[in-house]
Every structure is written in structure tokens, then in C-alpha cells.
Structure 1
Amino acid sequence: MQQNHVLQKPISISAPNNQTVKHNLSRTNLFMLSVGQIVGAGILSMLGIAVGMTGRSIFISFILAAFLILATLIPIVLTSGTVRLPGGDYSRAALLAGKKWAGMYIFIFAISNFSISMYALSFADYLLALIPGLPHQAVALGILTLVFIFHYFGIKNAARWQTLIIILLSVALTMFTVLGLPHVQPGYFQQPGFMTHGGIGILAAAAYMTFTVGGAQFMINFSGEAKNPTKDIPFVMVISTITVAILYALMAVVASGVLPLHQVINQPLTHVANAILSRPLYIFFVIGGALIALTGTMNASIGSSLSPIVQASRDGWFPKQMGYLHPKYNSPVVILGIFYLIGILPIIFGWNISLISNSVLILTNVVSLVLAISTIRLPQVMPEQWAKSAFHVSNRHLIELSLFSAATMIVQLVMFFRSISTTAVIGNVFVVVLAYLFGVWRTKYVTMDLENIK
């Protein structure tokens, strides 16, 4: 790896026309975005599968899953708690791993955004389950368009909508939990039904449920827009992960304790909700737990994708015009337009984009693994900032923390490799070759002023 320049000067994100991204996201805004990024409709379908792995001890798996996610967040907390990163993880890759790795990262990151349309299509699936006969394609296009309109009027506007989304989502999930807990049958901790596959089952379910508890790591991509990123982003990542994990653990008690296990295993969470909620409340739960959750995840995902692309355009990886900001709303309208086109094409033409999404899943985690190990270079690349950081530790402890986080990522990668197809493996290899060629091709056109980050 090439050693980067020592970082000494402050920076604001600048577009090609000398526009500046505003630092206007508060801790509350970031928390709402983080919760929206974590909570998705997947919890409705995945919880029943996890119950089949460990029975009523599933709540323990959620706590373990939270610890696994928190361990993977350590390198991000250390870096984002030390400097403002205008390009989020892209800037982190440039600082810690070097210029070419940053190019490979932003290529993989850009491709991963093809999954935007999947949220809209899933939204349409759930809505049609409640209201049969609606035009599926029109519903998907409608919700996707609505969310992009949020972001056209600026990230602060999108964050306000996210607050309303999270309030509705929290009410729905809390309602399921509070109304369901009194229905939990006696003998919850007794056999049969508790730890049905021993400790291995609890661990397997924990690894599986990291898919539902993870997501807060993307908050680093809001570093450029945050009012106080070095304090707020680490705080929000940790607190939002713990908060959602506790809520999910309580929901798991209801999901596994109300009905006999054989009626719950491999069944969606709506099966239990239908047994404990009245019809109006059941409908509200499905809307809040699925439709609102998908809207929140889509909103947060689009928001967290913008800053890295803006910064990469500014540096020269992409055309500089892509980084243009709306003069009034400060939104990257060109990038939003490109992402919107990427989102609507699969919906209009019925493309199967699940292969693309699965093909970058492993690569995204491999990139995170490399950056976790590279975190040991913090004292080299930013000695003054690291010395003043609230998260400063000795070099020995820094190495230990980085390697511990990397080890937890390796465990998760092993679980990923066990679950993907040969086609997905080939897809990963193909994408990494393209990413490498992109990095080599564009490097000579790129100027990265790393000294400007503080």
C-alpha cells in the first residue's frame, strides 16, 4: 500500500463549481437515518427461519448478532470519530489503503446501487398482498419516484421525512411487541423448544440475523453532511444498533413464544401478528413493519450513496459534472438522476437484478475486511488528528481492535460463502476484475487532495 500524505487541513465537500455541501444533519437526523438503514422488511420473513435454527432461544441470537455487528463497526468508529470524511467509506479507503484501492472501492460501491429497485419492487409486493389488483409496476415506480423527490429537495428534507417514517415504524413494531408479550405461553425457557440445536444453533442463528441487525455502518457516508461527525456518527452507529437489536430480541420472544414452534418455524412474522392482533391493527403492522420499513431503508440507502459518488466525481474517478449540486437545495441532482434511471429500468423492463446485488455482497465485505486491517495505519496517515481523537488508544490496542474486528468479518464472510451459488462466486470474480481495470484506467486522471481532510 502506498502511504498517504499526512492530513492537516480542514475540508468541506466542494462540487466542481465551488459549491459546498452543507453540514446540516443533527444527531437526531443521523439516528433516524441509521434506524431506517437497519430496519427492513426482511425481519418479517427471516425471523421464522432463525427460530428454526435455535427455537425460543432466538432472542439470545439477536444479542450475539448485535455484538458481531458492533465488532465490525470498530474500525469505522475509530476513523469516523477522528476526522470528517467527506466521501464516507470512499475517503476512508483512500486514506487507509491508497488511491487505487479507493478507485476499486467506488466502482464496487456504484454497482451495488443497482439494488435500489429491489426495495421498490418489494414494496409493491407487500402492498398488493393487502390490496390485490393494483398495478405492480406502477406502485414500484411510484414509491421510487416519491423517495427520489425527497432527496431532490436536499438531504435535510429527506431526513425530516425519515423521522416521520421511523416514528410510524417504531409504533408498529412496538405495538406487536407490547401486545404480544402477554400472550407468551408459560415455560418459555424450558425444554422442548429452547436451544433446540444447542450452542451451535444459537451461533448459526446469530450469524444469520446479522443481516437484519446490520446497516449502521453506512452512516459513515453522511460524514460530509453531519454537523458534528466525529462525535455524532460513532454514537449513532452504536446506539442505533443496540436499540434495534433489543427491539428485535423482544419481538423474537413474541414470535417464538405465543404459538407452538411448529406453527412458527419458517413462517413469516405476519403469521404470529395475525394471531394476536385485531384486523385493523394487523393491517397497520403490515404497513408499518413492511411498507414503511422498506420506504425508510430506501430513503436511507439513497442518502448514504450520494456523498461517496460526489467526492469521487470531484476527485476525477467520474466526470466532474456528476458532482454538481443544486444551487438552492444543495442536492447532487445529476447523481440523483442517474440513480433514478438505474432504479426504474429494472422495474420497467423486468430485469432480474438479484444476481448483480449478490455479486457485490461478498466484495463489499471483503473491502470492509481490508479497511479493518488497514485501520492500524491511523497513526501514520493522520498522526495529529489521531493523537487528539476521543477514541485514541495505544498502537498495541489499535492493532488488537483492528484484528478482532477483522476476525469477526471473516466469520461472517465464511457464512456468506456457504450460502451463495457458484454463479454468484463467478459474478464476484468478474466484478473485482472490472473494478481493478477501472482503478488502473482512471488513476492517471484522478487527483485526490488527502491533505484537505480533517
Structure 2
Amino acid sequence: MTTRTGLSVSQGAALSVGAVLGTGLISMPALAAEAAGPASLVAWLALILLSAPLAWTFAALGARYPDGGGVSTYARMAFGPRVAAAVGWCFYFAVPLGAPVAAAFTGGYVADVLGGGRTTEFVTFLAIIGTAYGMNWFGLRISGKVQLVLSACLATLLVVTVVAALPHARWENLQPFAPHGWTGIGAAAAILVWGFAGWEALSSLSGEYRNPQRDVPRATLIAVAVVGVLYLAVAAVSVLALGPALAGSRAPLADLLAIGVGGPVRAITAVVAVVLTLGAVNAYFAGGSRLGAALAGEGALPARVFGSQRKAMTFILVASVVSALLPLGLHTAALLVTGCFTLVYVIGTAAALRLLPAGWSRVVAGVAFVAVVALLWLNGWPALLSLAIAAGAVIYQEWSSRSRVPAAADSQETCQVG
């Protein structure tokens, strides 16, 4: 009797947690508090509750249509190649927008130790993306197992931080609860999408399970519970222990550890943040370069600029530096990225409404669709960039297909004359 190979429930849950538990949490509590004050906890709770139907929708798609292409595959099945290309563009162009933001999160921790403010943050950014670019240029990869170890390190850091800072929590730090009004909760929710991006990976992993129909839902529930508990615990302790100082913090986890443990924790936290971010940015460059080259191979991007992994990766590097130099501010830059993620979720859940059979899963997909549409609206004007990127993909596809028709006709006429 042979033993079936593939992911177990525990392995799948660990991979799913690793896909979602990103570096954004090292700064997200401060950005959310800046937008909404203590009321940011409502936004955290809302995003955690949204994670359940969103994750379940992608898990249901993966269980029914196991495929490594993820949202792009489902968009193609439901709406055709042009919408699938729009999903690819949103993912690809989010990379050079997101890399400077991720590096800026870490730069705050490095500057907290070394000083130098924005200059130190920018140098940290250049060092991280330069290292990631060099590693990928020479084919050096951080394996999936190492990525899981990095995610486990982050989870451990979060648990230690919560336990250390919990004795310093004060209920009075919840007042005033909503200093920027209740609209601040929506603004906080829009930016917190950064910390919850990754649930779409559930559909890509589905084909790797031993028994997708049975194991994908179980792993999903475990992953949602683990991520939800970690995120809400860190957010709550950050608000209760740091109080008003949280909103202006560039290194909130270091601040929490400092009041809970003391000693050289700021330097240790900075080193951990750099390693975690390097792993994440390396994954961005590796995945983005493959995606860009694949889109070019399908005719969805110009091959002259994006036609190989190195070309696609060089574009990401240059565009990342340009993005970092723009006077956007960390909050706005993060919203530009979360707008792209949210639009992908809108398309993915819309595809689920067309592909999933009538029943409980389609109802859950409908709830997820309404929720992510609301999030896209809450994203505000930065969401226009994601819509422009998607429109650019459709326009380029149309222009490219029309330009190929005359070229093919000319070629046919030349052959006939010959």
C-alpha cells in the first residue's frame, strides 16, 4: 500500500500563515493608530473577520479547480484573457510600489538604532533591494523552507513582544477612542489590507494537498485563527501599552520590547526586521521577475522591456528606486499598494461568484465580494492607480492584438507574392 504524498493539514496551514504573516506587521500598528487612534482596533477586528470569507473563497476555488496560477487562472476562466492580464499587471506593478514601503518599515527600525532619520531609511532600502536584485540575478534563491523559518521567527517575535509588554497595558490609553472620528476606522482598514494580503496563495497551494477537498478547508480555518489571534494581540497590546506614542512610532515592536524587556532589544529587533524584509523583498523580486517574463511571453507586456526574468527584474529595481524618490509619504505609498491587492481580490471574488456552484461557498464568496468592494472604496483616491493599471492592461491587450492582425496580413500577402 502506497502512502500519498503532498501537503498535510498542518503543513498547509503553516504555509498559509507564512504567506499572510508578512513584514507589514512591524509597522502596521503605528500606521493604523495614526489613522484612527485606539479605534484602529475596530479596523483590525474587521479585517480579521473579513479574512474568514476571503480565505474560504480562495480555498473553495482551489479545492474545486486545483491550479498553480491562482487568481489569474480563475479570472481567465470567468472573464477571459484580458481580465487575467489585468490581474497579472496589478500583481507585477505592485512589486516596485511595495518594495520601498516594506524597506521603509525596516528602515525605521535601523534608524531607531543608528540615527540618521530618512537618510538611514533610504540607505537601508538601497541595501535591501540591491542585495535582493543581486541574489536573483545570480540565481540565488531563499527556499520555501527558509521563508517558513523567517515567518516562524516573526511569529515568535510577536508572541515574545506581546507577553513582555502586556504588564504595561493601561486601559486609559483607549481614551479618546476615536480622535479622528469614525471615518478614521475606514482609513485604517484600507491600509491594513497590506498585512492581510496573501490569502490568494491558498488557491495556488490547493493542488499540493494530499486531499484538497478535505484538507484545504481545515488548513484554511487553522491559518485564519492563527493569523487573527497574532494580529489582534499585537494590535491591542500596542495600543494599550504605548498609548498616544504609538501613532508616531517608526519602530513599534522595538518600543514594546524596550518597555517590556529593556537591554539591547532595539538592535536585536532591527536585525530581525532587516532579515525578515530581505527575505520578503527577495521573494517579491523572484516572483515578480517570473510574472513579468510570463506576461511578456503571453503578449500581455512588451517583450523588449519585460521579455526575460532579468529584464523584468531590472524594471522592478529601477521602478522601485523611482517610487522611493517620489514625495508620497509612507501612508500614501502603502495605500497605492493595498489598492492593487484589493482590486485583485475584487476580481478574484467576482470570478468565484461565476465559477463556484450554487450553495454555501457561493454565499461566502458574495460576502467576500461585497466586503472587498467596500475596502476598495475606502482606499480612496489611491485606488485609482489600481484601476488605471487594470485599464492599461486591457488597453495594451487590445492595441497589441490589433497591431498583430495587420502584421500577419502583410506577411501573408508577401508570401503570396513570393
TM bucket normalised to smaller: 0.7 to 0.9
Residue 354 (structure 2) pairs with residue 377 (structure 1): yes
Aligned mates of 1:142, 1:45 — CA distance in 2: 22
Matched residue, 2:236: 253
> What is the one-letter code of the residue matched to 2:318?
L
> What is the one-letter code of the residue matched to 1:248?
Y
Matched residue, 1:409: 372
- Quick check: 299-308 or 108-117, which moved more? 299-308
- Counterpart secondary structure, 1:216: coil
- Pair 1:226–1:45, CA change in 2 (3 A): same
- Counterpart secondary structure, 1:368: helix
> What is the one-letter code of the residue matched to 1:408?
A
Aligned mates of 1:363, 1:347 — CA distance in 2: 16
User: Given the alignment, which residue of 71, 87, 92 partners 1:105?
Assistant: 87
Matched residue, 2:395: 437
Aligned mates of 2:219, 2:230 — CA distance in 1: 16
| Structure number with higher relative contact order (C-alpha < 8 Å, ≥ 6 residues apart) | 1
Unaligned runs of 5+ in 1: 1-22, 325-333, 380-393, 447-454
Alignment of 1:271-420 (within 5 A): 271-288=255-272, 290-302=273-285, 305=288, 312=295, 315=298, 317=300, 334-335=308-309, 337-346=310-319, 352=325, 361-362=338-339, 364-378=341-355, 395-417=358-380, 420=381
- Pair 1:433–1:142, CA change in 2 (3 A): closer
- Quick check: 300-309 or 431-440, which moved more? 300-309
Spell out, residue by residue over 1:245-298, the C-alpha distance to the aligned partner (whole angstroms, 9 max, x if none). Answer: 211222233222235x3344443414343322313223223333x324423432
- Pair 1:312–1:28, CA change in 2 (3 A): farther
Whether the aligned pair in 2 keeps the contact of 1:34 and 1:237 (CA below 8 Å) is yes
Aligned mates of 2:400, 2:283 — CA distance in 1: 29
- Pair 1:298–1:33, CA change in 2 (3 A): farther
Matched residue, 1:148: 136
Aligned mates of 1:230, 1:364 — CA distance in 2: 25
TM-score (norm 2): 0.73
Aligned mates of 2:135, 2:12 — CA distance in 1: 17
Aligned mates of 2:129, 2:188 — CA distance in 1: 35
- Counterpart secondary structure, 1:81: helix
Whether the aligned pair in 2 keeps the contact of 1:49 and 1:265 (CA below 8 Å) is yes
Aligned mates of 2:39, 2:337 — CA distance in 1: 32
Aligned mates of 2:336, 2:41 — CA distance in 1: 31
Whether the aligned pair in 2 keeps the contact of 1:87 and 1:307 (CA below 8 Å) is no
Equivalent residues, number:
387
Residue 151 (structure 2) pairs with residue 166 (structure 1): yes
- Pair 1:208–1:108, CA change in 2 (3 A): closer
- Quick check: 346-355 or 67-76, which moved more? 346-355
Matched residue, 2:63: 81
> What is the one-letter code of the residue matched to 1:211?
V
Shift of 1:37: 4.1
Whether the aligned pair in 2 keeps the contact of 1:69 and 1:214 (CA below 8 Å) is yes
Whether the aligned pair in 1 keeps the contact of 2:187 and 2:378 (CA below 8 Å) is no
- Pair 1:263–1:316, CA change in 2 (3 A): closer
Aligned mates of 1:263, 1:121 — CA distance in 2: 19
Unaligned runs of 5+ in 2: 406-418
Structure holding more helix per residue: 2
